[in-house]
Amino acid sequence: MTKLIDGKHISALVRQAVAKEVMQLKSQGITPGMAVVIVGDDPASRIYVNNKKKACAEVGIYSEEYALPADTTQEALIALVQELNSRSDIHGILVQSPLPKGLDEKAVVETIDPRKDVDAFHAVNVGKIMIGDFHFLPCTPAGIIELLDRSGIEIEGKRCVVVGRSNIVGKPMAMLLLHRNGTVTICHSRTKQLAEICREADILVAAVGKANFITADMVKPGAVVIDVGMNRNENGKLCGDVDFAAVQEIASYITPVPGGVGPMTIAMLMKNAVSAAKIQNGLSL
In the residue annotation, 53 being an active-site residue is answered as: no
Q: How far apart are CA 122 and CA 61, in angstroms?
A: 22
In angstroms, give the least distance from the CB of 21 to ligand GUN: 21
Strands (E), the chain: 3-4, 33-39, 62-68, 92-95, 159-163, 183-187, 203-206, 224-227, 231-232, 238-239, 253-254
* CB closer to ligand GUN out of 119 and 241: 119
Give the SS3 label for residue 63.
Answer: strand
In the residue annotation, 52 being an active-site residue is answered as: yes
Q: Is the backbone peptide bond immediately before 98 cis, with ω within 30 degrees of 0?
A: yes
In the residue annotation, 271 being an active-site residue is answered as: no
* CB closer to ligand GUN out of 169 and 247: 169
> What spatial distance separates the first Cα and last Cα of the chain, rounded to whole Å?
38
Contact status, residue 241 vs residue 232, Cβ threshold 8 Å: no
Q: How far apart are CA 68 and CA 82, in angstroms?
A: 15
Catalytic residue among 96, 117, 241, 280: 96
- Which residue's beta carbon is nearest to the bound ligand GUN? 97
* CB closer to ligand GUN out of 47 and 283: 47
How open is the CA angle 21-140-244, to the nearest 5 degrees?
125
Q: Rule CB under 6 A: which of 126-145 touch ligand GUN? A: 139
49 binds ligand GUN (CB under 6 A): no
* CB closer to ligand GUN out of 248 and 265: 265
Binding mask 261-280 for ligand GUN (x = CB under 6 A): ----x---------------
Strand partners, 224: 203, 253
Catalytic residue among 52, 158, 171, 278: 52
In angstroms, give the least distance from the CB of 37 to ligand GUN: 9
Q: Rule CB under 6 A: which of 68-97 touch ligand GUN? A: 94-97
Strand partners, 64: 35
Q: Rule CB under 6 A: which of 193-252 touch ligand GUN? A: none
* CB closer to ligand GUN out of 194 and 238: 238
Strand partners, 62: 33
In angstroms, give the least distance from the CB of 265 to ligand GUN: 6
Q: Rule CB under 6 A: which of 94-113 touch ligand GUN? A: 94-97
Contact status, residue 203 vs residue 227, Cβ threshold 8 Å: no
Catalytic residue among 117, 119, 227, 241: 119
- Known catalytic residues are 52, 96, 119
Residues in contact with ligand GUN by CB under 6 A are 94-97, 119, 139, 265
